[in-house]
Amino acid sequence: MNKMEIADKQVQVCFTNDKEGEVILQSKTNKSITKSFFFDSVYGPKASQKEIYTGTILPIVEEVLEGYNCTIFAYGQTGTGKTYTMEGPKEVDPKSIRTSTEAGIITRSINTIFERLSRCTDEYSVKVSHLEVYNEELCDLLNPDNKGLKIFEDTTTTVHNLTESNVENADAIFTILEKSWNERKTAETNLNKASSRSHCIFTVTIHIRETTPEGEELLKIGKLNLVDLAGSENVGKSGARLLAKTEAGMINKSLLTLGRVITALTEHSSHIPYRESKLTRLLQDSLGGRTKTCIIATITPASSGLDETLSTLDYAFRAKNIRNQPQVNKKVAKREVLREYTSEITDLRAQLEATRKKEGVYLPVEQYEKLMSTINERGLEIETYKDTVELKNKELDDAQEILAERGKILDKTKAELDEVTNNLNLKLEELKDYQEKLAQANKESQDKQIVILELRKNEETMHEQAKVVYENLNTAITDVDGLYKKIGRQEGLMSTHNQEVSNQRELLLRILGDLQNEVKNFVAKQSNSFINIIGKIENFASSKEKEFKNLEQMVVSIKNDLTSHIAKLDHISRDFVRGYMTTSDKITQFSNDSMQKMEQSTQSLLEINQGSAGALQQDIRSLQQNSRDWYQLNSTQISKNDDYVQQFVQSHNTQLSSTKKDLSDRLAGTLEGLNTHESHLRSYLKHQAILEEKLKEMVSDQLKTFTTQMNEMIKTACVERNNVLNNSLTSLLEEVKTTGNELTTVSSIIESNCNELECKIDQYGNYQKQMNVSFNEQLSQNNKSITTLTKKMEDQISLNVQQNVQHTLQLQNNISQDKEQYNQLSTNLTECTKNYFNSQSQYFKDYVDYNNRSISSVQQNQATVASSLGNTTTELRTDLKDAAKTVEEFLNSHSNASKKLTAKVDQFKLMPYTNTQTTPAKHPFTFPLQLSKTRSNTEIISTNVKTAPTAEDNQENSDMHILTPQPIKVLSQIPKISNPTVTTTSNTLNPPPAKKPLPKATKQNDPAPGPAPSALRDNLANKKYNANGKFINNKDRNKLGDLTNQIK
């Protein structure tokens, strides 16, 4: 997607599968609905120009060099990259783009052609042409002046007078392309800043000379058409207007014709509409002809162009079904080519001569005959049209006569209407002039009345201001004289006070010098005493640090011992499990061996007695069955016994592992507690160091408050240190006691487990005894049955009696031996279990004793630390008491000196100032600093425009004469002022001359330069004048008052 589509947050609805050549379209609303198209090659958004050229275009270019005509054209919606694919980026120069990775198909094809031709030993020539189809008009981009190009169709489609330039290398082609691309029509739309507005066909024709073995020279001709079609355009989306809209219509029309041609070709229609558009006429051989054609369909994956994308894919899919019949161009002999060139030169000379003589245009004979036949046909048609025109002219003459008569009547009526309209316009203009003059006169009269009222009010204001200024000046002169007298009295008193202050200053400096020397001596003494105290504190801290290190080493040793004990316990448990499993395996093996021996004995008995009678054989079988049942029962019991032993071992292992885990967790908790206490002790030492630094700072910064603060701080530090040590040691002891209790609990648990295990072993022994009893009972039953069988056998078979007796005795011996071995294994298992649990109980007893010894050693260390802490605290208290006494003596001596100094200061007294009650009191002078000034007539009128009565008021008051204003006479006179001079023009105040400068007057709010509009309206209302200078009645006066209130 391009930047515009990404900025509009478009959704991707088109996906590609490059390997399978598949394009998948997805619905906007339902993503599960898709449509697939399959093509020869598909390239995704990340495909480069090189991949497209190498995979698809390069084989076509090589076929051109083999003598084929090939066409490559790009089709798609505007803004999808057709021109970029064919020509490359527009902002890059065509010459410099040759080595660029963004070079288009045209650039890469030209490079490939000249690269292949440079390897060829034969002679070759290359011609290029550049044709533009704009609004169904043909334009020669290599010669813009060559207009009016026409298409001629003979065996092939050619453009008459189209410029073909011979080139020798790729640089010459790029120079031509640079000029022709600039001539192409482009315009800016909403979808593309440089949208192509025309179809462009760039043709490269290659002639290669070959020599046959017979020595005949032939020309191999190949042609490559590179077509850049203008994009199909939706005017609503592209925003095309005026000319661009017309261009879009012509583009869509030609592309629609191209689509119909493709549809007709795929449907094998009998009529192909090539001639409906010049584009399809030019591409006639490329669509269904003898040319190899490649269509590049460019689409956008954005959802905004889904309809156009679907149309483009459908168009390309239908074009895929067109079947061309490409053929190699026939190789032409050199003489035939020369003959064609000669005839072409002759035609060109005839055209040139006809042009020079201006006698006409040269045409071939066939074209001339066709033209003459067309002219004759057109002549007959013209004669027919002339007759028709004469009839129409007669009808038109009759209609014109009727129209002329009615026009005369209409002209007369229009003249009368114009005369009446002119008279009416003159009257309206006169009426308008009279209205304007009347309004102007009313306005001038109202303005004059407003100015007069403004002048009168300003005169009264200036008279009042002058009176106030005169009174304030007289008061100010009297006050200034009193102030000068007071200043003289204060100067004499100040000189006396200055002399007395200088004497007292010398005395105070002398006393302060003595006091400073005493302070220095006191500071030196206190510094020595504090150095001694700090040394003692440091010695105490170092000794305590050693003790804590010893305690830490002890904790580490306890930790190592616990680890070794846990390892021993794990080793003993594993040995016991291995021994127990070995014994169990022996029991199982013994049971299996016993069963095999019984089966072998029974089998031997059967072999000996095979020749016995039927009754004896039946008895033997029953005996054999009983023996098997007995062995199966025993094997079942043995397997159950084995399972019971395995379950017991597993439960014991689980219990041992849980006990081991619990013990390790508790030991880890104990070690964490010891580490925590160690961190607390370290933090205490740091805290003690911080306290020492604070003591040093306090010695240097606070001398006067030293005694009180030092006593409190040392007491607090001692108490805090004692509390920290006591809390740490107490918590440590509690932690050790807790560990001891936990170990005791563990040992009790282990003892209970041992007891339980012994009970289970006793149960197992009882079970073994029961098994032995049942085994003996079954053995006795078997002996009885064997004895009975022996008696029968002695009666029936005398020859085999001795052998059976021997086998029976051997079997009894084997059973007794197995019984003894089984009892021995059971005894060994019981003794092994007892030995294991005895060793375990003894181990835990030793471990508990070791913990008790560790606790007693820790308690002894605690007692040692507490005693040393008490001794150090006592020494510090003694030293601090001595320091406190020294400070107290120092304070007493300084308090006596300060008392003396206070007494002397109390004796010093200054002479008071005597009030004569003649100094004038402070009071404000309230007179204006800026006198009133009359505003200009324009300002007065513009300010009071809104106060003038409306036309409705003038109509209601019949006694108001607007056009006859009368002036207002000023009845009162302003009295003259003799002393001050007031000038309204400069707005300044000239006070009377004085010997001394006057004090500044208190500023009051400066008056406005003129009366406010609201005040002027109030004045009008009070004076009962209207805007024209006439008195108003009571009714109008009330209206004017209401209007004034609304304005306020």
pLDDT of the residue at 110: 92
640-694 tens-digit pLDDT: 655 665 666 566 566 666 665 665 666 566 656 656 656 665 665 666 567 656 6
CATH of the domain at 15: 3.40.850.10
pLDDT of residue 303: 83
Residues 22 and 167 placed together within one structural domain of the fold: yes
Q: Are residues 207 and 252 in the same domain?
A: yes
Q: Which DSSP state fits 1031?
A: B
* 611 pLDDT above the threshold of 60: no
Q: Share the mean pLDDT of the chain.
A: 71
Mean pLDDT, to the nearest integer, of 423-430? 88
Min mean pLDDT across 17-21, 322-326, 472-476, 897-901 is at 897-901
In angstroms, the CA 1048 to CA 1043 distance is: 9
Torsion-angle region of 975 (φ positive above 0: left; ψ -120 to 50: alpha; else: beta): beta
pLDDT, tens digit (0-9, with 9 covering 90-100), for 936-950: 677 777 776 655 544
Rounded distance between C-alpha atoms, residue 847 and residue 345, angstroms: 127
Cβ atoms < 10 Å from Cβ of 325: 9
484 occurs within a structural domain: no
Residue 978 inside a domain? The answer is no
Top-ranked range on mean pLDDT: pick from 82-91, 404-413, 674-683:
404-413
Of 239, 226, 283, 233, nearest to 253 by C-alpha is: 233
Q: CB–CB of 160/151 below 8 Å?
A: yes
**Annotated binding-site positions:** 76-83
pLDDT level of residue 978 (50, 70, 90 thresholds): very low
Considering only residues 946 and 832, tell me which one the structure prediction assigns the higher pLDDT: 832
Q: Which domain holds residue 183?
A: 3-328
pLDDT at 473 over 80: no
Residue tagged 């169904």 (tokens): 136
Of 252-256, 593-597, 621-625, the range with the highest mean pLDDT is 252-256
Residue 288 maps to a domain: yes
CB 861 within 8 A of CB 547: yes
Q: Are residues 322 and 378 in the same domain?
A: no
Q: Which of 195-209, 556-570, 692-706, 949-963: highest mean pLDDT?
A: 195-209
Residue 390 within a domain: yes
The fraction of the chain above a pLDDT of 70, given in percent, is 51
Q: Are residues 263 and 386 in the same domain?
A: no
Q: Are residues 299 and 377 in the same domain?
A: no
The residues near 107 (Cβ < 8 Å, ≥ 6 apart) are 87, 88, 94, 97, 98, 174
Structure tokens that stand for 739 in this block: 């560990």
Considering the domain architecture, whether residues 131 and 210 belong to the same structural domain is answered as: yes
The model's pLDDT over 255-264, given as tens digits with 9 standing for 90+, comes to 888 888 888 8
Q: Are 659 and 748 in contact (CB under 8 A)?
A: no
Higher pLDDT, 96 or 221: 221
pLDDT for the residue numbered 289: 84
What pTM was computed for the model? 0.38
Instruction: Say which residues have a Cβ less than 8 Å from residue 121's Cβ, sequence separation at least 6.
Output: none
For residue 152, pLDDT beyond 80:
yes
Which structure tokens are listed for 889? 């003596």
Judge if 16 and 89 occupy the same domain: yes
Neighbours of 911 (CB within 10 A): 9
CA dist 166 to 102, 219, 973, Å? 27, 16, 112
Question: What's the CA gap between 340 and 189, in Å, rounded?
Answer: 47
| Same domain membership, residue 367 and residue 296 | no
**Model confidence at 1029: pLDDT above 60:** no
Domain co-membership, 164 together with 266? yes
pLDDT higher at 422 or 602: 422
User: Which among 553, 864, 561 is positioned nearest to 739, based on CA atoms?
Assistant: 561
**Distance (Å, whole) CA 801 – CA 608:** 10
Q: Which of 276, 302, 328 is the last residue of a domain?
A: 328
Candidate from 10-14, 26-30, 135-139 with smallest mean pLDDT: 26-30
Rounded Cα gap, residues 791 and 806, in angstroms: 14
Confidence check: pLDDT of 845 > 80: no
Number of domains in the chain: 2
- For 1025, residues 6+ apart whose C-beta sits below 8 A from its C-beta are 449, 453, 968, 1031, 1032
Per-residue tokens: 341:
């060139």
Annotated binding residues for ATP, written as ranges, equal 76-83
Question: Is 625 contained in some domain?
Answer: no
Q: Which two tokens stand for residue 475?
A: 């008061």
pLDDT for the residue numbered 979? 38
Tokens describing residue 206 = 């290659």
pLDDT at residue 113, rounded to an integer: 92
Q: How confident is the model at residue 69 (pLDDT cuts 50, 70, 90)?
A: very high
Convert the pLDDT of each residue in 1016-1025 to its tens digit: 444 444 444 4
Is the per-residue pLDDT at 466 higher than 70? yes
Is 163 domain-assigned?
A: yes
Average pLDDT over residues 730-744: 61
Q: Which of 422, 445, 473 is the last residue of a domain?
A: 473
pLDDT value for 967 = 36
Q: What is the pLDDT of residue 783?
A: 57
More confident residue, 492 or 234: 492
The residue from 276, 309, 328 where one domain ends is 328
- 395 and 292 in one domain? no
Do 281 and 375 lie in a common domain? no
Task: Give the model's confidence band at 108: pLDDT under 50 very low, under 70 low, under 90 confident, else very high.
Answer: very high
> Which of the residue ranges 17-21, 266-270, 776-780 would you say has the lowest mean pLDDT?
776-780
